[in-house]
Amino acid sequence: MEPTSRRQFLKRSSAVAAAAGVAAAVPATAAKALTSHTAANPEPKLPDDPSVDAPVVAHVTDVRKGLVSLYTGDREINVKDRRLAAALYRATH
């Protein structure tokens, strides 16, 4: 089974952002970092259904490598995205 307990997970987190729709839980300056959009990079459209209200937790496991684990429902989605990891770091510092 998975080698990480709930408490250990929380203890070891280098950065955890929890939100019902990520941006709702971060401070305004951080939200700006996460939500700055340009004409070339418009805000993605969200589906019009209850799934957007489900909690999402991001666990930045290695900010330099851009490793982020996303948890929602009973799923874990591992992504490698340096921009996302950096944005989450800035949002929490």
First to last CA, the chain: 33
Binder of other proteins out of 22, 26, 30, 59 (CB under 8 A): 59
| Site track 4-43 with other proteins (rule: CB under 8 A), x = hit | xxxxxxx-----x-x-------------------------
Binder of other proteins out of 12, 27, 35, 55 (CB under 8 A): 55
Per DSSP, the residues of 2-52 read: -S--HHHHHHH-S-EEEESSGGGGS-HHHHHHHH---SSSPPPPPPSSGGG
Length of the chain, in residues: 93
Which CB atom, from 36 or from 77, has the smaller least distance to other proteins?
77
* Under rule CB under 8 A, residue 78 binds other proteins: no
Q: How far is the CB of 53 from other proteins (least distance, A)?
A: 11
Helices 82-91 and 28-35 cross at an angle (nearest 10°) of 170
Question: Residues in the site for other proteins, rule: CB under 8 A?
Answer: 1-10, 16, 18, 55-57, 59, 71-76
